[in-house]
Amino acid sequence: MSAYVEIPRPHESGPGRFTVELRFPAASKRRAKQHHDVAWTLAGVHGVEASTPYTVNPRWSVYEEKWGNGERHGWLDERRLSVDGAPRALARYLVALGRVLDAVEGLATRAVRAFGVWKRSVAAEPHLEYEDASTMRVRSREFRADALSALVRRLGAAGADVPRRDDSRPLWEQYGTVAAEVWAQAGGVDLKGADESAVNAHLARMVPAVVFEAERLAVLEAARVEAERLEAERVELFRQADAACAREADTVDAERYALDGQAALFPVSSVRPALVVPPPMPVKPRRVPRKRVPVAARFPDGTTHVAISRDQVEHFNPGMAAAIWPEVSADRRRYAPAA
């Protein structure tokens, strides 16, 4: 098995057709896409059908897309590849995929080693005048990624010519030339070869449709049994807590009744109300809407003003009447308008 691709058990998706969803666990997204491109190219060589699954964006909404952050509805997940084909063709493809990925990664490593040899040569001195150790580490990392991309493109272009190096340019700009050199030195990569024992092992791992459905139902049943077990444990914990609280309350009541001399009048009862276990996820009740009383119902006589006497104000709010009706002096009362 290759370390660059995860191959689950293929399952039967139709009469004589099996499907497997490959995953590329590389830490770098760009490197995972390169492995995805290798698997895509190899699918056409072995006569199987490949498709990239679509992933829905969980943050998407109409508002986020049009007026928010411009979130897309989804995208093609290039860390996965769904491959479908006949059982033996699919098994040969899976065996060849691991070998080809290992070979391409090995050629990319050889290209980086050639880059290291060039850095220590006399021809590289004019190009390294303004470079230091940190920038050369970045150059080496980017050179390996570019060389790997060139090798992936070379898988579908067999028989291409090998260009010559240009000494007037730095080697990190000639990653395609170095990739062609290591490809020619290794004699290319065999895309069709597959070990028959490994092919038979993959055929033995393939799951028929009946077995696949039985495994799916078994997983669902196991999840249901586990949920029932957790619910029973939760109810039992509530019962134990309720019994402990009841015992503590009975003990306190018995002591209090004994001190008061009323033990015979109020015996400790063993009868308790039925335990009510709340649901695991209580649903928030909906708030009852307020009923708006129309104005005509509040003021049947048609007026919206109510006259309140001073005695009523003083009865309900002591001291408020003085603030509402302040005392008027005799001098100012003479100028008051007549009632």
> Which run of H or E residues covers position 89?
helix 87-119
Question: What is the reported pLDDT for 40?
Answer: 92
Q: What pTM value is reported for the model?
A: 0.60
Q: Cα torsion for 326, 331, 336, 339, to the nearest 10°?
A: 80
Query: Mind listing the pLDDT tens digit for each residue in 59-79?
Result: 888 777 777 777 888 888 899
Written as six digits, the tokens of 167 are: 């000494």
Q: Give pLDDT tens digits for 196-241.
A: 888 888 888 887 777 777 878 888 999 899 989 988 888 888 888 8
pLDDT at 308 (0 to 100): 67
Residues ≥6 apart with Cβ < 8 Å to 38:
97, 100, 101, 104, 152, 155
- Spatial separation of the C-alpha atoms in residues 97 and 117, rounded to whole Å: 30
User: CB–CB of 177/165 below 8 Å?
Assistant: yes
Q: Residue 95 and residue 45: Cα distance in Å, rounded?
A: 13
Digit-coded pLDDT (tens) for 101-143 = 999 999 999 999 998 999 888 888 888 888 888 999 999 999 9
Q: Could you give the CA distance from residue 134 to residue 131 in angstroms, rounded to a whole number?
A: 8
- Whole-angstrom distance, CA of residue 25 vs CA of residue 35: 10
Distance CA 37, CA 155 (A): 10
CB 22 within 8 A of CB 50: no
Which residues have C-beta within 8 Å of that of residue 8, sequence separation ≥ 6?
Answer: 20, 21, 23
Q: Which two tokens stand for residue 171?
A: 């080697």
Name residues whose C-beta falls within 8 Å of residue 190's C-beta, 6 or more positions apart in sequence: none
Residue found by looking up tokens 């989804």 in the block: 74
% of the chain at pLDDT higher than 90: 21
Cα separation, 11 vs 90, whole angstroms: 11
What average pLDDT does the segment 281-304 reach? Answer: 63
Q: How do the domains of the chain map onto residue ranges?
A: 11-207
- How far separated are the first and last CA of the chain, in Å rounded? 106
| CA gap 202, 88 in Å, rounded | 9
Strongest mean pLDDT among 155-159, 223-227, 279-283, 294-298: 223-227
**Per-chain mean pLDDT for the chain:** 81
8 Å CB contact between 87 and 16:
yes
Contact (CB, 8 A) for 40 and 33: no
